[in-house]
Amino acid sequence: MTTTNFTPWIEWLDAQYDEMLAKTIELAEINSGTLNADGVNKVRELLTEYCQVLDGEVEVVPVAPYEHLGSNGEIETFPLGDALRIRKRPEAPLQIFFCGHMDTVFAIDHPFQQVKWLDDETLNGPGVADLKGGILVMIKALQALERSPYAEQIGWEILFNPDEEIGSPGSAPLIEDAAKRVHLGMIYEPSFPDGNLAGERKGSGNFSVKVTGKAAHAGREHHLGRNAVRAMCDFVAALDDLNGQRDGVTINPGFIEGGGAVNIVPDLCISRFNIRLERPEDEQWCLDRLNELVAMINDRDGISIELLGGFGRKPKVLSGANKKLFELARECGHTLGMELQWLPTGGCCDGNNLAAAGIPNIDTLGVQGGKIHSSDEYLKVKSLTERAKLSALMLMKLAASDDLSWLEENQCC
Ligand SMILES: [Zn+2]
């Protein structure tokens, strides 16, 4: 089948630009920092409206609250916004999972809340690239599919999740659950600033550590105190020394807080760190080392240490099916005048989780933009249409293909 068959449905997207842009701005100007559950829910309500045209079955799915070790050593609990799931044609031969997060890294009290034009082609705003623009790319690509005769071949399931920016602790089970029903995934994180796609991704773990010692007066009873700050410093130093001991594994102690008045031996110290790794088997190596360090500190008189957290994102390693999916994206990009490559990255996203569940996916099908997670975040506005065309063409080609057996190629190569 040649591309010309798809042309009318692809060209329809040109006329959708104004609406995509207006809705991206509308979404970006609603604060949806992950912990602003009300804001995330506002975005969800708007997305329910935007998606009405797709005529799928809509479900609001609450997710577990986020738990975090506070600086007082107690677990703090934060409610999250609800996820939104929309499904259509669960009986169709090819089932595709679509995912985009509603949250951003910009908290409700962050100064960056409005969009602004940097030049005719570049829009600056919170979440315009990561990934509110991508949400419009997804919706419009699906709308193009639904208008075409190819729609009958494809059943789909959209998940708009509320917590990707903190590692999807609440929505990970929903992604895992969707993985049981689908053949492939399309996720709408922004592409790299040069337009290329993310291929392999590192895995990531976030951990918190709590060291408890014993308080005592620094002058009169120093010998009775057990210094939690000192024990934590030893732990963090030993932790950082693990860097360089295993290829592909990096550890970043990123936060430490403890003690108070300097005339008191401190009895509490908190720290947090992140680990990135390249191969699934690196996880066990890291856990073994962490257990050794914890045992070393716990052996000390009057000191106890508690380690919380874990590896929320497995490394994304490309299976044969995943490589073929990238080739499809490259071929469709080429047809549309974009030369796309896929490159490894240390960053992670929901594509990691989906790949870990055995589902081939491309996770940077959203807009072209950059400087994400900063007040300089920008969106190249013409990519709204370009990338919607890319996804729409991929979908129609998948629907029109008479051989999708490659989707079963689960081995990594
Ligand atoms: Zn994102």
The full DSSP string for 222-289 is GGG-B-HHHHHHHHHHHHHTTTTSSTT-EEEEEEEEE--STTEE--EEEEEEEEEESSTTHHHHHHHH
Residues lining ligand 1 (ion), CB within 5 A?
A: 130-131, 189
φ, ψ for residue 325 (rounded to 5)? -65, -40
What is the distance in A from the centroid of ligand 1 to the CA of 100?
A: 8
Task: Report the candidate in 338, 317, 319, 320 with the shortest Cα–Cα distance to residue 391.
Answer: 338
What is the distance in A from the centroid of ligand 1 to the CA of 69?
A: 24
Residue 177 and residue 266 in contact, taking contact as beta carbons nearer than 8 Å: no
φ, ψ for residue 405 (rounded to 5)? -65, -20
404, exposed or middle or buried, with CB in 10 Å at 0-12, 13-18, 19+?
Answer: middle
What is the distance in A from the centroid of ligand 1 to the CA of 115?
A: 17
Q: What is the pLDDT of residue 5?
A: 84
φ, ψ for residue 49 (rounded to 5)? -65, -50
What is the distance in A from the centroid of ligand 1 to the CA of 384?
A: 16
For 158, the token pair is 């959209």
Residue 334 and residue 94 in contact, taking contact as beta carbons nearer than 8 Å: no
Q: What is the pLDDT of residue 78?
A: 97
The list of the chain residues with pLDDT below 50 reads 1-3
Q: What is the pLDDT of residue 1?
A: 44
What is the distance in A from the centroid of ligand 1 to the CA of 336?
A: 25
What is the distance in A from the centroid of ligand 1 to the CA of 56?
A: 24
What is the distance in A from the centroid of ligand 1 to the CA of 125?
A: 14
Task: Report the candidate in 165, 197, 158 with the shortest Cα–Cα distance to residue 313.
Answer: 165
What is the distance in A from the centroid of ligand 1 to the CA of 59?
A: 22
What is the distance in A from the centroid of ligand 1 to the CA of 268?
A: 34
What is the distance in A from the centroid of ligand 1 to the CA of 131?
A: 5
What is the distance in A from the centroid of ligand 1 to the CA of 349?
A: 7
